[in-house]
Chain A
Amino acid sequence: MPGHFVGLRVFAALANDSIFKTAVWNTFVYTGVTTVFKLALGLWLALLLNRHFRGKAVTRAFVLLPFIIPTVLSTFAWKWMFDPTFSVINWSLFRLGLIHGRINWLSDPTLAMVSVMIVNVWRGVPFYAISLLAGLQTINPELHEAAAIDGARPWQRFWHVTWPLLLPVTMVVVLFSIIQTFADFQLVYVLTGGGPANSTQLFSTYAYQIGVGTGLLSQGAAISLAMFPVLLIVVIVQLLYIRRVETH
């Protein structure tokens, strides 16, 4: 079926689509918040795993599981854990005395976004931790010893020795993860499907809803293509950064 050229008309229509604007905002919030948490927790876990302790290899292997197991399947376990009536999370919080009634994790607009973010962080932390751990292992331990002899406190040693040396790896991991998170689909599709009331709608879920659910192929394609400029900027930053590190 040959089409005809409509110029930028489909994109222009998107500018007036309020759900599209919500999806754009949500995607930025989702990516921003989860990236900060994934980096902080992932770095923490990497530092813990970088120590010598019994069962290190086994722990490292188990820690990576959330990243290896098919996302859709593990997300179902989360969906079941978030179920308001049968939730083990609600039960635990109730037993600890932190809540008094039930929490509707996935049907409250704000909490739905929080839930989706929790699962994304859960899935992403192992990736950060293992990648950063590989970076940590390339840092010469003598540098730490030298700093310790010079009287640097643990926090100072981290900030002035570890962090600057780890920065190149961190940058690459973060940029890589931003691309993945920005284009995330499966997790949200399973947990909330973009709802309730589009509160967790992202670029990809909205593109799917319009392009496949409603069958408006060109509108759907326009929505997912709207991700492109952002991804392009991230990729360019990444390429420039890699080049700079390589030439130094």
Chain B
Amino acid sequence: MIEGARWRRWVYFYIPLGVFVFVLLFPFYWMMVTTVRPDNELYRPWMAPNYTPFWTLHPTLDHIKFLLNETLFNTWMLNTLIISIAATVISLFCGLLAGYALSRLKFPLAGGLGTGIFVTYLVPQTLLFIPLADIIRNFRLGDTPWSLILTYPTFLIPFCTWLLMGYFKAIPKELEECARIDGATRWKAMLYIIFPIAVPGILSAGIFAFTLSWNEFIYALVFLSSPEEKTVPVGVTSELIRGDVFFWGPLMAGALLGSIPVALIYSFFVEHYVAGLTGSVKG
């Protein structure tokens, strides 16, 4: 803690922290205010004398109603949910087996493969979207949920594998060896001894993979074209803007509602998120 007078504490601690929190959270507050602001207030120039930026006296649910009734928002939510869950399950399954193998089994090139996984995980999506678009077209998967369910694992599997490798390495080998001596097969030892201990890691990998899928943008933008197939980020971006006209009320409502699933999961699993975050950058 800062020693000395009370004002020093304010200057060096409370004020800077307050400014950080304010700036980091203000855009979300702005989203909420805009969502409930009636149109006549929404399109009032900031130079107007009765411009009230930080609150509204006539909150309305019109934008949310418009979003839910007049657009395909519900469909986008459902699409995103299905795609995210499917991609997460596939990636977690592969990541568990691969992570276990790379951290426990001794085979030639195990170290090299581990590094390879790490490098693959670092390859950004923007490097791959055009070649993948070509592959998707060749398999005639364009404009279907499969185009995303099958491509998201390209970055989720390396991520899950890398994260879980770290967790498995931290579990003492002796635990497994005891089970083996008592007659368990390697498969059983993995299933009944190692995986239950690694549950926090599995949870971290799972919710992080889910969030990454929910937030993914460029693949969804390139691979999907019909409005009813889109995911939330792409649907909000492309269907709530007509030419140069932005429907700001519904747009902000969409941004707000589209963030809720991720925010909810986050609020339940903050510690796992932080563990996933710090684990994912660790070497």
Contacts and interface: CB of A to CB of B under 8 A. Distances in A.
A74 interface: yes
A62 B27 contact: no
A150 interface: no
A220 interface: yes
A76 interface: yes
B226 interface: no
B124 to A, nearest CB: 3
Interface in A200-218: 203-204, 207-208, 211-212, 217
A110 interface: no
B132 to A, nearest CB: 10
A235 interface: yes
A22 interface: no
A154 to B, nearest CB: 8
B127 A70 contact: no
B130 interface: yes
A86 B262 contact: no
Interface stretch (B59-67, B188-196, B270-278): B270-278
B10 to A, nearest CB: 12
A91 B53 contact: yes
A74 B278 contact: no
A19 B27 CA distance: 32
Interface stretch (B88-96, B100-108, B139-147, B253-261): B253-261
B115 interface: yes
A221 B277 contact: no
A208 B130 CA distance: 8
B176 to A, nearest CB: 23
Contacts of A241: 283
A73 B53 contact: no
Contacts of A122: 23-24, 27
A239 B51 CA distance: 54
Contacts of B214: 70
A225 B278 CA distance: 29
B134 A217 contact: yes
B172 interface: no
Interface string A50-61: 011100010111
B69 interface: no
Contacts of A64: 266, 270, 273-274, 277
Contact of B20 (A63, A72, A86, A242): A63
Contact count band on A: 35 or more
A211 B130 CA distance: 7
B247 to A, nearest CB: 11
A69 interface: yes
A172 interface: yes
B131 A74 contact: no
Nearest to A173: B281
Interface stretch (A29-37, A159-167, A178-186): A178-186
Contacts of A173: 281
A90 interface: yes
B211 A68 contact: yes
Interface string A235-248: 10011011001100
A104 interface: no
Contacts of A60: 270, 274
B46 A90 contact: yes
A235 B118 CA distance: 9
Contacts of A131: 277-278, 281
A190 interface: yes
Contacts of A211: 129-130, 133
A130 B258 contact: no
Interface string B3-26: 000000000010011001101110
B15 to A, nearest CB: 10
B80 to A, nearest CB: 9
Contact of B233 (A70, A179, A227): A70
Given A80-B30, A211-B130, A221-B131, A65 B25 contact: yes
B123 A88 contact: no
Interface in A118-164: 122, 125-127, 130-131, 134
Given A51-B13, A88-B30, A134-B274, A183 B21 contact: no
Closest CB pairs A-B (n = 7): A242-B283, A183-B124, A204-B126, A73-B255, A91-B46, A134-B278, A77-B27
30 contacts: A48-B13, A48-B17, A59-B17, A60-B274, A61-B266, A65-B263, A66-B24, A70-B214, A70-B217, A70-B258, A72-B215, A72-B234, A73-B255, A74-B259, A76-B236, A80-B30, A80-B246, A80-B248, A122-B24, A122-B27, A134-B274, A172-B282, A183-B125, A185-B217, A204-B218, A212-B133, A221-B130, A224-B129, A228-B127, A239-B118
Given A62-B21, A208-B218, 11 more contacts: A41-B20, A48-B13, A48-B17, A65-B25, A70-B258, A74-B27, A76-B252, A102-B46, A125-B24, A127-B277, A227-B127
